[in-house]
Structure 1
Amino acid sequence: MKVTWTVSPVGYQRIAKHCPSCSIKRDFTPSGAFRVNSQKKVLDVWSIYKCVHCNYTWNIALFSRLHVSKIDRELHHRLMANDAATVLYFAYDNTTLKRNNAELSGRPDFRIQEQWSASLSPGERIEVSVRISRSFQVSLMSILQKQLMLSAGEIKRRVESGKIRGITMKKLKSRKLKDTEYKFQLSAETLFAQRRIALKHR
């Protein structure tokens, strides 16, 4: 029996940066707009971030000295239109964030889509696949807590008793997850204990 949890962040990943206006380090978040400069068919593109406290703006470079012939027309249109999905994409793009030496701050909320590949009967062990749609600051522990409706301590006890297998506590607590797939196993009772779904014996 298999179940897949597809995890997607809600909202933006914030960035910590010194704010000249506040004179201290503050969280910055995308403003929802791009800045595009065009000079002799060469483009410079930034995503405009703003301080969550005072709205001081800071630009993160997306493209520098890029010839217009080398950018996809549809992408260029989305940048010019301040397309919301494109703003969200670059807010979680690791390459862009690393190039700008961005310091991630806080943990965005997230949603989980659950899909089953087979039916379930009591006593069976379920293989869980967790798919991270975008790389962001989240841990498998927080995903399990949200989806199983269990505390961190209860999850730890289930790992120790073997009701949760194929994953270590160290891995569960790590927030350095990539946009990839993680697998482990749960007992049926662990998956449904707090979710009020009745399991019928054959």
Structure 2
Amino acid sequence: MNCRSESATTGEGRFRVNANGKLLDVWLLVRCVSCDRTSKLTVHERAQVRSFDPAELHGYHNNDPELVASRLLDPLLARRSRFTLDWTGAWRLDTPPAWLDQAWPVQVEVVFDAPVPVRPERLIAQGLGLSRHEALRRIKCDTPLRRPTSAGFTFTVTARD
């Protein structure tokens, strides 16, 4: 960002494609939330036109929303462009209202609609209304609870002591 702000939005998710002979530059345009200036995140720099999948190139030209999302979620682009995404409020655990009435232990499957990275312990604690300490004590899970994941997983909730 030009003003050194850490808050940006993709707005409508637009790419800028610039051709120089047989080479292409592709940028994702972002707007600073603080100063309203537009900046460019380099997606491809001086890449051979032949190296692009035709569908991908079409997506860049047509500002494909799925392509915008996939580029924003690309950790290499984030590292190269020195940005991080703010996932605050981007996830929730939907539970049936009567899940407490079920026989213990209760097995729960977590499925993500979008690849939003979240720490399972935080998702589970907030979704089930437990403290994080109680969630760690009562949850059995094959996925590490304190390491962010964006892949689905299954966990088991044990009864209170």
- Residue 91 of structure 2: aligned partner: 110
The aligned residue for residue 98 of structure 2 is none
For 1:29, the equivalent position in structure 2 comes to 9
Taking the aligned partners of 2:135 and 2:47, their CA distance within structure 1 comes to 53
Task: Kindly provide the CA deviation profile for residues 141-187 of structure 1, in whole angstroms up to 9, marking residues without a partner as x.
Answer: 34224532x04x2x523543xx323489xx64x4x524334443213
Aligned to 1:71: 52
Q: Answer whether contact 2:30 2:40 (CA < 8 A) is retained.
A: yes
Show CA shifts across 1:8-66 (max 9, x none). xxxxxxxxx5x43xxx5240121310010011121100100111133201111111111
CA distance in 2, matches of 1:135, 1:63: 24
Kindly provide the CA deviation profile for residues 119-153 of structure 1, in whole angstroms up to 9, marking residues without a partner as x. Answer: xx9434244444554253x33234224532x04x2
Q: Following TM superposition, by how much is the alpha carbon of 1:99 offset from its aligned partner in structure 2, in angstroms?
A: 1.8
- In percent, how many aligned pairs have the same letter? 22
Q: Give the corresponding residue for 1:5.
A: none
- SS state of the match for residue 147, structure 1? helix
Change (3 A) 1:26 1:39: same
Q: Structure 2: which 5+ residue stretches go unaligned?
A: 96-100
2:69 corresponding residue in structure 1: 88
Check the 8 A contact 2:5/2:32 in 1, yes or no: no
Q: CA 1:37–1:141 in 2, change beyond 3 Å: closer, same or farther?
A: same
Q: Report matched runs for 1:1-202 at 5 Å.
A: 17=1, 19-20=2-3, 24-31=4-11, 32-105=13-86, 107-110=88-91, 122-131=102-111, 133-136=114-117, 138-148=118-128, 150-151=129-130, 153=131, 155-160=132-137, 163-166=138-141, 172=145, 174=146, 177-187=148-158
Bigger strand fraction: 1
Which structure's relative contact order is higher, taking Cα pairs within 8 Å and 6+ residues apart? 1
SS at match of 1:109: coil
The alpha carbon displacement at 1:111 in A equals 5.2
Aligned residues of 2:142 and 2:155 also touching (Cα < 8 A): yes
The TM-score with structure 1 as length reference comes to: 0.61
Counterpart AA for 1:156? H
TM normalised by structure 2 equals 0.74
Contact 1:125 1:185 in 2 (8 A): yes
- SS of residue paired to 1:87: helix
2-structure distance, mates of 1:29, 1:53: 10
Give the letter for the 1:57 counterpart: T
